Amino acid sequence: MRPISTTFLAGWFLTFANAAIAANSMECEGFLADLNNPKRVDIYKIHSIDIIVECSLLEISNFSQTYPGPIYGGKGDSRFSERNLIDLTGMLRQAISDDDTYAIKMIRDSFDEKTVNVLTLAAMSDSKILRVNSTIILANTIDNDSICVILKHLNESLSQLSTEESIGSTARTNGIGNLLGVTAVIAPWAYKENYDQISDIYGRYSDIFSNGGPAPDIIQKNLGVLGERLESPLSYNSSGRHYEFREKNIPNKIDFCDN
């Protein structure tokens, strides 16, 4: 499977069984030290993909969980700087590009709500490269369990919009567009609970922009893709049997989001 890029956020994705991955603290400290080495050593020549992926995710989960406002540490806290988050997401993006099937499996198996939340916030940040990195990671790894985090943020953004108000900054516009694009990835395979929520979000965003004037390009484009994929034909598995995901409950659901 080819990894999903920013030019094809509406591609297919894989589902994998859980795998046990356990990097120890010394391995992660060594990885982070090399990542912050001003000589910019080739991380992939020093550390295994297992260490790179798990330690990157563990460190990402330690970033702040709030937005709007900075998603980084306090002043002088270089560990949780924008630069470090760009580097960490860059490591995951490269892992997906270099070894997509294995890396996607590892990332998805290691996901928790905190990590997905930081990546979702990063996909809406002021930094273009951070938005791109995070959007590519999410588009390749999101599933029926973790999509609830993105849907929460799309709902929160909806509550901040009205037909009389501007959508806000270009970064905010791009961020909402990114999350709609990631949501479009899962739309054809969404189980009933997610399908209903995605359909509701699609309808409400469409209503806002149809009543309040044209949507920004990235939102208009990804709303169109999302609408098409919500109406996509019924899906078939490898044996040719018919599956209608949107009429079924999520099997073995993991409680990613607090309800």
Residue 189: its pLDDT value, please? Answer: 87
pLDDT digits (tens, 9 = 90+) for 5-57: 544 343 323 332 333 345 678 889 999 999 988 776 788 888 999 999 999 99
Q: Residue ranges of the alpha helices (H) in the chain?
A: 25-35, 43-46, 49-60, 82-98, 100-110, 113-122, 128-141, 147-159, 170-186, 192-212, 217-230
Contact 108, 143 (CB under 8 A): yes
Q: Is the pLDDT of residue 139 over 90?
A: yes
pLDDT digits (tens, 9 = 90+) for 82-115: 888 999 999 999 999 987 789 999 999 989 998 9
Q: Is the pLDDT of residue 69 over 50?
A: no
Contacts of 195 (CB under 8 A, 6+ apart): 187, 230, 245, 246
Which of 32-46, 60-74, 89-103, 135-149 shows the lowest per-residue confidence on average (mean pLDDT)?
60-74
- List the chain domain ranges: 1-141, 144-259
Task: Kindly report the pTM of this predicted structure.
Answer: 0.81
The chain-wide mean pLDDT, for the chain, equals 78
Using CA atoms of 127, 129, 132, 135 in order, give the dihedral in degrees to the nearest 10: -60
Residue 198: its pLDDT value, please? Answer: 96
